[in-house]
Structure 1
Amino acid sequence: MFGSRVAVLASVLAAALACERAAPRPGPSPASVAPAAAPRAPDPPRDLDARAVTDRHVVLRWKPGAGATDGAAYEVLVGDRVLHAEAPPLDDRQVGPARAYCYAVRAVDAAGNRSPASPAACVRTPDLVAPTPPGAPGASALGTESAMVSWSPSHDDVAVAGYELLRDGHVVARAGAAATDAVEAGLVPGREHCWSVRARDAAGNASAAAGPVCARTSDASRAGRLGAPRP
């Protein structure tokens, strides 16, 4: 009798234990689950500096933003181009002379998160190349006191700004970029005068001079005799 009671009790305990194991366990309440933190973008680089080394070479330098992490790279934005660098400085050799360029830089971390762009740094490249010399100058007298000098156009990597007519080493006349001749007045009659001509660009670079080329003005007394009425 005692043995049967023990068996019944053991059976009841086993059933209770089985029910407890089968019952679903309550999980944490939604309010107790913390939301995942959003990935934090790097801070923007600072102190961006752009310097023109030559007319076709700009060097960029900057400092990492506060809290910069290892493995960060950089993207430099200029116009519609994006340049990539592992660290400063960065050389931009895709520039031309006498042009303005504005740059901004942003950091990219190993996960691909991008910082805001830095404030822009702008630079203007110089114009270091002089125009080619004018070609084939010629001269002809225009009466007793003036003469005209003509030439073929010069060429420049940016643009020709104008021409200078020189006589005895001094500029005696100037002409615009589209001109191919110039006139000097007030010359001494009956003498030979010689000129050279050179081109300039907007940066002040001057070409080598073409010439000299010479012409003789008419003699005033002879012109007067030829033009005097017959008695």
Structure 2
Amino acid sequence: MDKVALVTGGASGIGAATVTRLHGEGALVAVGDLDMDGARRLSDELGDRVQPFHYDAMDPESITDMVAAVVARFRKLDILHNNAGAVGREDTTVVDTPLAMWESAMNLNARAYFVCSRAALPTMIENGGGVIVNTASSSAFAGQLTQTSYGGSKASIVALTQYIATQYGRQNIRANSVSPGIVVTPALLRVAPQLVESMAPTLLTERLGTPEDIASTVAFLASDEARYITGQNLCVDGGLFAHAPYVSF
């Protein structure tokens, strides 16, 4: 691949799987994360072509500084995978979700992607182009009984992706989003373990998703093989939204 990639939230889950996949494809990979112990462990495991970079997704200045540090280290940036995010336990219904929870979700899951993309785009354009792949969610496309803030923030990421693709496409920038369905990660098992059992019957595949399933999709969208794909959202959800609720039983 011979590209320089930055993966935010790259120390664990989908991010770590994407770092591993992009590294395997030959990219130099920057692991952006608040968890530097995890980022360093992944770097030590994969070798010198993977480097950890500390940042706080809730701090716009920290995001900008991190992107600048990556560019200073590798001299360019070809691929940005905006992936960092979280689900809060207080994120429930519209009435019951605290305003602070809504604001936190928007800042972490939407503002951070905007700031990181804004910091990366000038370098990409100067170097002749680049690719941005944003992690959205199936929660962006259908209402749930809970996770109101998370769904709202992820929907904004899909829109942001389309705006980036539209505004910078003629400067050789491609932007797409990936919307995972149920993906078994440590974060999911920690926050909502009941989802694993309850959601399995609604899928059209024989198994739940893994971080590697999402990583392979990100790697494809970041590659030259996807050079004619931009401004799109790709659902990687085991067929979750391909059918009416009763069809898979």
TM-score of the superposition, structure 2-length normalised?
A: 0.21
The structure where helix makes up a greater share of residues is 2
Greater length-normalized contact order (CA 8 Å, ≥ 6 residues apart): 2
TM-score of the superposition, structure 1-length normalised?
A: 0.22
The structure where strand makes up a greater share of residues is 1
Q: Which structure has the larger Rg?
A: 1
